[in-house]
Structure 1
């Protein structure tokens, strides 16, 4: 039987495969970075493969998004962006979000607005209509208050993060982003969306030495975040973008909010 014969009983571990076989497997195994965990031999072969088989990325989009829960920071690479492109999402500390049941009064008011009963109710019985819709201004007042407190809490949390040491999870995320940039030979269009100076600085440091043809940056703006709506703040972002242009030999220019920087 097969169990009694030495050829069938012998097992070959992945870590025992010869380098030539490992090198032949890597291109067909999906994400090569996961193969580095098999053994030191695999790690060395994967690093050698990545250093000699870098491919260009046609389009890369970096987006900063807010999480619904407060205080979580995570970097991740997800999905595809266009032909031959990728999406990198940067999850930053989230703002306060008002959810149901606070949205119910607004829905009632909106329905009355659409069917025309809102003004007829005020015309026929002003006092009753006022009592009926008084929750509407209260609702928006509550939203404004929550938004203000959410922004204050977020800014204080970011200040504490600047003062303290970066968390291990964030360091790990940055290494993953650096690994993504380092694995490509060039980037056709780098689109950076909804970012502030801190996030742009992180992206600049993670870019390594990859060559970029064009950079398109959109500054994060908010009604209650006045510094980011200030022209001086945009000028500082443009100065950071110019440094990025020099370091990475951007051929077609760096655009900030649609305008080409000098």
Structure 2
């Protein structure tokens, strides 16, 4: 199913894998420079298929098998990809599962299309990271070079550094979610590792402090890192989704 594409306006071709089944469906939102072939996405797809539950995973533009160049994209582009892909391929409210940057994308979708969100799971969610991590982490010379030249390179765990563009930073500033009240009128579960070197525990605590939600819980897992992909971590994500399904079935979406 990984060879399926959705054509969207502007010549975007979104690679995706859709498993049809019962609702509420689950939508996996990948992280920055990640793709839908990762461990968490495929594991959760297998669990959803075994239960007969609808599941969608996909690549943003410039990621994985989708069209476009990574360096040309920004948070707004990827949030638009997510919104239009969900609208085109799913029906009814969905459980959004956002990993790292995908957690920020999930929160943007919750703000912009809450009627399509039944519940939200953030896995090491990284809202506002372009401002609070990347921009803050640059020294004066790095910031000056980014503004003057339009891009800098950021070290990564991969073979090549990641390009960080001025457009990414400036667009991210237009889409911050931790600076103003954020209504989350559905069950929310945040999963965070105590050994996460990329997203500190202060981030989910900050989200909890200002989000408006009648059912928002944070689970901190000792020694789990940012990938959150150890077998026990994967089982926790799966149990968390199933717990949300039970809550939604009992109370109805958005209650």
Judging by fraction of residues, say which structure has more strand. 2
Structure whose CA Rg is larger: 1
* TM-score under structure 2 length normalisation: 0.32
* TM-score under structure 1 length normalisation: 0.31
